[in-house]
Amino acid sequence: MSSTQLFDSELCARCRGRGFCKKPCRIYSKIKDFTTKTKTHFSGSSPPEIFVGRFDYPNISAGILTPESHEESQEYSMPEIWHKNKFSIDTILTNRSKLVYGKFKTQVKKAKLNDKLLKTMQEVSMAYKSVSTEFFLKRAPNYRLEINKHLPIIGNPAPLESVRLEENPKVKPKVDYLVSDTDAKAVNSILELYKSQIEITNINKILSAGLLGLKTQRRLVPTRWSITAVDDTISKNLLKKIKYYPEISEILLFNSEYNGNHYEILLLPDKFSFEVLEAEISGSLWNQTGHVSVMKDYELFGGRHEYAYEVTGAYYANRLGLCEYLEKIKRQATAIFIREVGPEYYAPLGVGILREITRAALDKEPEKFSTINEALDKSQTRLRIPISTWTKESILLKEFGKQKRLKEWF
């Protein structure tokens, strides 16, 4: 294979539609038929959903997403619902294509010129059920899609002239209370919402809308950042307890698959450490060569002190699902996640579905093994990429068993 082919393969795996190669993107040809036409004035039921961009930060675009129709639209927006109902990618894209993104320019901390638009967006973000919304657009939407592996696809953007809520948003008391509490830190509010069983997707929106934290520190948070912040905050808090629990006593293996994302999750008896390995099967949308590039990030017992630059947001979504499981069984373990992405995953649906796949895998009864090799052999029966490709890249597998435990010295 030429160096150019290798470069293109690795670049494509990292770019995922962001235009690094300056060539037409394969993903647009796959999903171009899902865009929709619309008017400049209409009303519909927002899922509810908002989106805060990150380009040109702190001067960013933000806005509300809503369809042209009045119907229950929560399923347009929530990975929790997508996975529970096993929606196909076609179904999700069809639903996403119905949403118009009415956006406006603002500043993350001082939105003086758009206070009315911002206030309405914040009201929508607090709702847990669809809310009827009337849109007045400056012009008809662009028929394009915002593609990002961290987020569900966002299409049909248009500048928002004005927006009006046609009903009072349905807001849970705990959300209303914490949004009103300007003396509570954002971290504490996120944890309180989570303990109150507010869906992760809803917590993301409330944080993104700048409604959590001390009064002097509140600001809009780009949606991509808020998703990672919520997953990271909750899992770190759970780890404070998990690291004091006993270790698991045997080797456990879990697996799950959804829309071309296959996970093998290996738990080993040891102190907490965590690693995610990801690769696209050759012939997948983002890997059109014969080369397989494995991306990985990991942390040891002491924790991770910098962003997971290779696996990115999926790392934190996976870690949250893992920590929820370890907290439930009151144990700690070394965890190795293998994510194999097949050609079936032809459009990114955001890291939220990866969190749900993790949760689903760890909700099953685990397979139990006496040795790591037995567990890896079993994984190979479900993986298409050779297990050796994964094991030679894994830092934790190389380190496992090398350090003597205290009891081995006596």
Domain boundaries, the chain: 22-165, 173-242, 251-409
* Interstrand relation of 100-107 and 59-66 (parallel, antiparallel or unpaired): antiparallel
Q: What are phi and psi of 281, to 5 degrees?
A: -65, 140
Q: Which two tokens stand for residue 73?
A: 């639209």
Please give the order of strands across the beta sheet that includes 273-280. Answer: 295-299, 273-280, 334-341, 261-268, 251-258, 367-369
Contact by Cβ (8 Å): 208, 221: yes
Residue 231 pLDDT? 98
What does the pLDDT look like over 274-309, one tens digit per residue?
999 999 997 666 666 678 889 999 999 999 999 999
Query: To which H or E segment does residue 159 belong?
Result: strand 157-165
For residue 410, what pLDDT band results from cuts at 50, 70 and 90? very low
pLDDT at 151 over 90: no
Lowest mean pLDDT among 25-34, 135-144, 246-255: 25-34
CA distance linking residue 162 with residue 126, whole number of Å: 19
Of 390, 369, 360, 313, the closest CA to residue 83 belongs to 360
**What global pTM score does this model have?**
0.90
Q: Whats the size of the chain, residue-wise?
A: 410
pLDDT at 270 over 70: yes
What does the pLDDT look like over 116-149, one tens digit per residue?
999 999 999 999 999 999 999 999 887 666 767 7
Cis-peptide into 152, omega within 30 deg = no
Count CB neighbours of 410 within 10 A.
4
Q: Which two tokens stand for residue 172?
A: 């849970």
pLDDT at 4 over 50: no
Lowest mean pLDDT among 23-37, 103-117, 319-333: 23-37
**What value does the mean pLDDT of the chain take?**
88
